Homo-oligomer: A and B are copies of this chain.
Amino acid sequence: MDTTGDHAHLRLDEHPTFLLAQLGVHTTERFSAALASLGIQPRHVAVLSVLSDSDGLSQQQLCDSLHIHRNVMVGIVDELERREFVERRKHPANRRAYAVHVLPAGKRLLVEAERVLDGYEAEFTSSLQPDERREFLALLQRLAVNGGLHVGAHYGCGADPVE
Protein backbone atom coordinates (compact mmCIF):
# COMPACT_ATOMS: atom_id res chain seq x y z
CA MET A 1 0.00 0.00 0.00
CA ASP A 2 1.19 3.46 -0.78
CA THR A 3 1.48 5.61 2.30
CA THR A 4 3.90 8.24 1.04
CA GLY A 5 1.42 10.06 -1.17
CA ASP A 6 4.03 11.01 -3.78
CA HIS A 7 4.09 7.60 -5.39
CA ALA A 8 2.15 7.80 -8.65
CA HIS A 9 0.10 4.77 -9.61
CA LEU A 10 -0.93 5.41 -13.17
CA ARG A 11 -2.99 2.50 -14.45
CA LEU A 12 -3.04 2.54 -18.25
CA ASP A 13 -6.23 0.52 -18.54
CA GLU A 14 -8.16 3.13 -16.62
CA HIS A 15 -7.49 5.83 -19.18
CA PRO A 16 -9.47 6.17 -22.41
CA THR A 17 -6.36 7.58 -24.09
CA PHE A 18 -4.42 4.32 -23.84
CA LEU A 19 -7.48 2.15 -24.35
CA LEU A 20 -8.50 4.03 -27.49
CA ALA A 21 -4.98 3.96 -28.88
CA GLN A 22 -4.75 0.23 -28.44
CA LEU A 23 -8.26 -0.60 -29.57
CA GLY A 24 -7.71 1.53 -32.65
CA VAL A 25 -4.62 -0.40 -33.64
CA HIS A 26 -6.37 -3.64 -32.77
CA THR A 27 -9.44 -2.99 -34.92
CA THR A 28 -7.29 -1.81 -37.82
CA GLU A 29 -5.18 -4.95 -37.69
CA ARG A 30 -8.14 -7.28 -37.34
CA PHE A 31 -10.26 -5.59 -39.98
CA SER A 32 -7.26 -5.52 -42.33
CA ALA A 33 -6.77 -9.24 -41.74
CA ALA A 34 -10.45 -9.90 -42.42
CA LEU A 35 -10.22 -7.89 -45.65
CA ALA A 36 -7.17 -9.84 -46.80
CA SER A 37 -9.47 -12.47 -48.32
CA LEU A 38 -10.65 -9.75 -50.70
CA GLY A 39 -7.11 -8.59 -51.40
CA ILE A 40 -7.73 -5.02 -50.22
CA GLN A 41 -7.09 -2.78 -47.22
CA PRO A 42 -9.30 -0.42 -45.19
CA ARG A 43 -8.10 2.54 -47.28
CA HIS A 44 -9.57 0.96 -50.40
CA VAL A 45 -12.87 0.47 -48.63
CA ALA A 46 -12.80 4.11 -47.59
CA VAL A 47 -12.28 5.36 -51.13
CA LEU A 48 -14.91 3.06 -52.57
CA SER A 49 -17.37 4.10 -49.89
CA VAL A 50 -16.99 7.75 -50.83
CA LEU A 51 -17.31 6.99 -54.53
CA SER A 52 -20.40 4.89 -53.87
CA ASP A 53 -22.12 8.07 -52.81
CA SER A 54 -20.36 10.47 -55.18
CA ASP A 55 -19.14 8.70 -58.28
CA GLY A 56 -16.78 10.58 -60.54
CA LEU A 57 -14.98 12.65 -57.92
CA SER A 58 -11.48 13.82 -58.71
CA GLN A 59 -8.56 12.40 -56.73
CA GLN A 60 -8.20 15.72 -54.96
CA GLN A 61 -11.87 15.66 -53.94
CA LEU A 62 -11.35 12.17 -52.58
CA CYS A 63 -8.37 13.50 -50.65
CA ASP A 64 -10.45 16.32 -49.19
CA SER A 65 -13.23 13.94 -48.24
CA LEU A 66 -11.03 11.37 -46.53
CA HIS A 67 -8.13 13.58 -45.46
CA ILE A 68 -5.69 11.38 -47.27
CA HIS A 69 -2.67 13.06 -48.84
CA ARG A 70 -2.74 13.30 -52.61
CA ASN A 71 0.61 11.53 -52.90
CA VAL A 72 -0.92 8.53 -51.18
CA MET A 73 -4.17 8.73 -53.14
CA VAL A 74 -2.26 8.15 -56.37
CA GLY A 75 -1.22 4.72 -55.14
CA ILE A 76 -4.65 3.82 -53.82
CA VAL A 77 -6.36 4.66 -57.10
CA ASP A 78 -3.56 2.86 -58.96
CA GLU A 79 -4.27 -0.30 -57.02
CA LEU A 80 -8.02 -0.02 -57.43
CA GLU A 81 -7.67 0.66 -61.15
CA ARG A 82 -5.21 -2.17 -61.78
CA ARG A 83 -7.80 -4.61 -60.48
CA GLU A 84 -10.59 -2.86 -62.41
CA PHE A 85 -12.53 -1.74 -59.36
CA VAL A 86 -12.40 1.88 -60.52
CA GLU A 87 -11.46 3.70 -63.70
CA ARG A 88 -9.81 7.07 -64.36
CA ARG A 89 -11.78 9.06 -66.94
CA LYS A 90 -11.46 12.58 -68.26
CA HIS A 91 -12.87 15.07 -65.82
CA PRO A 92 -15.68 16.99 -67.55
CA ALA A 93 -14.85 20.34 -65.94
CA ASN A 94 -11.11 20.24 -65.26
CA ARG A 95 -8.55 18.91 -67.68
CA ARG A 96 -5.95 18.67 -64.94
CA ALA A 97 -8.04 16.20 -62.98
CA TYR A 98 -9.28 12.69 -63.45
CA ALA A 99 -12.82 11.64 -62.69
CA VAL A 100 -12.63 8.40 -60.72
CA HIS A 101 -15.54 6.10 -61.50
CA VAL A 102 -16.52 2.87 -59.80
CA LEU A 103 -16.75 -0.14 -62.12
CA PRO A 104 -19.18 -3.05 -61.62
CA ALA A 105 -16.50 -5.15 -59.94
CA GLY A 106 -15.89 -2.28 -57.54
CA LYS A 107 -19.54 -2.16 -56.56
CA ARG A 108 -19.56 -5.88 -55.95
CA LEU A 109 -16.34 -5.56 -53.95
CA LEU A 110 -17.83 -2.89 -51.71
CA VAL A 111 -20.81 -5.11 -50.95
CA GLU A 112 -18.42 -7.89 -49.99
CA ALA A 113 -16.29 -5.53 -47.91
CA GLU A 114 -19.35 -4.33 -46.03
CA ARG A 115 -20.23 -7.92 -45.29
CA VAL A 116 -16.73 -8.49 -43.94
CA LEU A 117 -16.94 -5.32 -41.87
CA ASP A 118 -20.30 -6.22 -40.38
CA GLY A 119 -19.09 -9.68 -39.56
CA TYR A 120 -15.96 -8.40 -37.89
CA GLU A 121 -17.84 -5.80 -35.88
CA ALA A 122 -20.42 -8.33 -34.73
CA GLU A 123 -17.59 -10.41 -33.32
CA PHE A 124 -15.68 -7.45 -31.95
CA THR A 125 -18.71 -6.11 -30.08
CA SER A 126 -20.05 -9.50 -29.05
CA SER A 127 -19.55 -8.62 -25.39
CA LEU A 128 -21.95 -5.67 -25.74
CA GLN A 129 -25.73 -5.71 -25.66
CA PRO A 130 -27.52 -4.12 -28.65
CA ASP A 131 -28.34 -0.98 -26.70
CA GLU A 132 -24.77 -0.79 -25.48
CA ARG A 133 -23.50 -0.98 -29.04
CA ARG A 134 -25.72 1.92 -30.00
CA GLU A 135 -24.56 3.87 -26.98
CA PHE A 136 -20.92 3.09 -27.75
CA LEU A 137 -21.29 4.19 -31.36
CA ALA A 138 -23.03 7.39 -30.30
CA LEU A 139 -20.27 8.21 -27.82
CA LEU A 140 -17.56 7.57 -30.41
CA GLN A 141 -19.36 9.80 -32.88
CA ARG A 142 -19.73 12.57 -30.32
CA LEU A 143 -16.05 12.41 -29.44
CA ALA A 144 -15.09 12.44 -33.10
CA VAL A 145 -17.26 15.45 -33.85
CA ASN A 146 -16.12 17.25 -30.72
CA GLY A 147 -12.49 16.57 -31.61
CA GLY A 148 -12.97 17.97 -35.09
CA LEU A 149 -12.20 14.65 -36.73
CA HIS A 150 -13.12 13.74 -40.26
CA VAL A 151 -13.78 10.05 -40.23
CA GLY A 152 -12.04 8.12 -42.94
CA ALA A 153 -8.49 9.28 -42.34
CA HIS A 154 -6.88 6.87 -39.97
CA TYR A 155 -3.66 5.00 -39.59
CA GLY A 156 -3.17 2.69 -42.48
CA CYS A 157 -5.32 4.98 -44.56
CA GLY A 158 -2.67 7.61 -45.23
CA ALA A 159 -3.46 10.40 -42.83
CA ASP A 160 -3.06 13.90 -44.13
CA PRO A 161 -0.83 16.23 -42.09
CA VAL A 162 -0.61 19.97 -42.50
CA GLU A 163 1.36 20.89 -45.60
A interface with B by C-beta (< 8 Å): 6-28, 30-31, 42, 45-46, 48-49, 52-53, 107, 110-111, 113-114, 117, 120-121, 124-128, 132-133, 135-137, 139-147, 149, 151-157, 159
Contact = CB atoms under 8 A, between A and B. Distances in A.
Contacts of A22: 24, 144, 149, 151-154
Nearest to A4: B107
Contact of A154 (B9, B21, B128): B21
Nearest to A28: B21
The interface centre, meaning the residue of A12, A144, A146 with most chain B CB atoms within 10 A of its CB, is A12
Given A17-B27, A23-B24, A27-B16, A128 B124 contact: no
B53 A125 contact: no
Nearest to A150: B22
B151 A6 contact: no
A111 B53 contact: no
A113 B10 contact: yes
A53 B53 CA distance: 51
Given A8-B107, A132-B139, 16 more contacts: A8-B49, A8-B111, A9-B53, A16-B27, A16-B125, A19-B137, A19-B141, A20-B24, A21-B28, A22-B154, A23-B140, A23-B147, A25-B154, A25-B159, A135-B135, A139-B139
A110 B154 CA distance: 29
Contacts of A30: 147
